[in-house]
């Protein structure tokens, strides 16, 4: 499998990303990162507020649901990570008894033409983090405007394995819809190692913030890097 650092460093502008990785220590960890090109996109930070990890503005501004949202929260047995307001929606569905695939269903990609950003979500089970369910509401690579909805269940990752979803594949100028998911390998033994592995691979021109979260402890365990 390709190395996570190589996957990210060859995609200078991946947009936003979620991943589940099993470190070489055996710990299963969730990751989230965001990159941006415009001043409005770059004017953001990750903050722990009321038990949720929020993406919000650095300067006072009106709430923008496409840029300001909960990136990590918990819902019963699940840690929920994602790149938009669907994180709270999925968490609410889980709380009221929906199964993971049901909770991830019926979503739409972002209303931001012409890019049409995918909504990507990762659910990591909090028992020992051994099961992860990914969801993506993605635009077609053709002219069709209806949404492709994907769910992927990943079980029992081996140490050193990870699964990654990003919104884009881009050289920083031209933006395309990313592959549905990438299976990759990591060198990390700890959460701090994994965070550095992610952060060092992101292009400094675009990186904004990244975090690694222990599913068992939830967002309060988040460790972060920011530009």
CB atoms closer than 10 angstroms to residue 181: 18
Sheet holding 131-139, edge to edge: 44-49, 52-57, 69-75, 78-82, 119-125, 131-139, 147-155
Q: What is the pLDDT of residue 33?
A: 98
**Domain carrying residue 207:** 4-226
| CATH number of the domain bearing residue 170 | 3.60.20.20
How many domains does one find in the chain? 1
pLDDT digits (tens, 9 = 90+) for 104-120: 999 999 998 888 999 99
pLDDT range class, residue 129, cuts 50, 70, 90: low
The CB-side HSE value for 199 (13 A sphere, CA atoms) comes to 16
| pLDDT of the residue at 41 | 86
Smallest CA-to-CA distance from 193 within 30, 23, 33 is with 23
- Mean pLDDT score of the chain: 94
Question: Measured between alpha carbons, how far is 65 from 72 in angstroms, rounded to an integer?
Answer: 15
pLDDT at 66: 76
pLDDT at 62 over 80: no
């Amino acid at each position: 499998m390709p190395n996570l650092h190589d996957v990210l460093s060859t995609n200078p502008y991946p947009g936003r990303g979620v991943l589940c990785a099993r470190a070489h220590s055996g710990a299963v960890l969730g990751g989230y990162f965001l990159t941006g090109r415009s001043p409005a996109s770059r004017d953001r930070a990750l903050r722990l507020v009321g038990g949720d990890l929020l993406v919000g503005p650095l300067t006072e501004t009106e709430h923008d649901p496409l840029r300001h949202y909960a990136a990590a929260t918990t819902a019963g047995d699940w840690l929920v990570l994602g790149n938009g307001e669907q994180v709270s929606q999925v968490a609410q569905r889980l709380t009221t008894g929906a199964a993971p695939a049901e909770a991830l269903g019926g979503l739409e990609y972002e209303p931001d033409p012409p890019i049409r950003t995918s909504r990507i979500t990762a659910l990591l089970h909090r028992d020992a983090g051994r099961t992860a369910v990914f969801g993506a509401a993605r635009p077609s690579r053709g002219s069709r405007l209806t949404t492709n909805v994907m769910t992927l269940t990943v079980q029992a990752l081996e140490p050193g394995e990870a699964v990654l979803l990003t919104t884009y594949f881009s050289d920083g100028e031209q933006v395309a819809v990313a592959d549905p998911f990438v299976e990759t390998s990591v060198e990390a033994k700890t959460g701090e190692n994994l965070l550095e592995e992610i952060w060092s691979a992101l292009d400094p021109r675009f990186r904004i913030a990244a975090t690694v979260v222990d599913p068992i402890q939830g967002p309060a365990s988040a460790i972060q890097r920011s530009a």
